Amino acid sequence: MKRGALIFWLVVLALIVGGIGTNFIVNPPGPGKLDGFAQCLKDSGTVYYGAFWCPHCQATNKLFGKSKKLLPYVECSTPDGKGQTQICKDKNITGYPTWVFPDGEILTGERTLEELATASGCVLPSQ
């Protein structure tokens, strides 16, 4: 193999390895900081209704970080973003995000973790 081709492939390999390594630094594997809180919300019977296109839902998801995968989330938007799923119509969800708690309390819009903890009875981890 010619020296130029060898250098090219070494650079490509270094970029691949560097990209994979950077991914582990930016998104380290393991549990999220709010896993217990998100699981408690789910276990309590709380439901979080949202839409993939909703900026307030995206902000809420970002608030939970890696723990968002454990949230009791129900997607209300149809895939084309122009309609609402039947389950959300049946529950009379008219805005996003909407949090429905087992006692019947409903919170809409962006909420703090503290507000969600108070409404759900779930304890936030100490930060």
Residue 84 lies in a domain: yes
State whether 53 and 96 are in the same domain.
yes
Are 32 and 78 in contact by the 8 Å Cβ rule? The answer is no
State whether 43 and 105 are in the same domain.
yes
pTM of the predicted model as reported, rounded to 2 decimal places: 0.75
75 has pLDDT over 60: yes
Total domains, the chain: 2
4 has pLDDT over 60: yes
State whether 104 and 49 are in the same domain.
yes
State whether 18 and 42 are in the same domain.
no
Residue 10: domain span: 1-30
Residue 114 lies in a domain: yes
Lowest mean pLDDT among 21-35, 57-71, 81-95, 107-121: 21-35
Q: What is the mean pLDDT of residues 19-47?
A: 79
Q: What is the mean pLDDT of residues 23-48?
A: 83
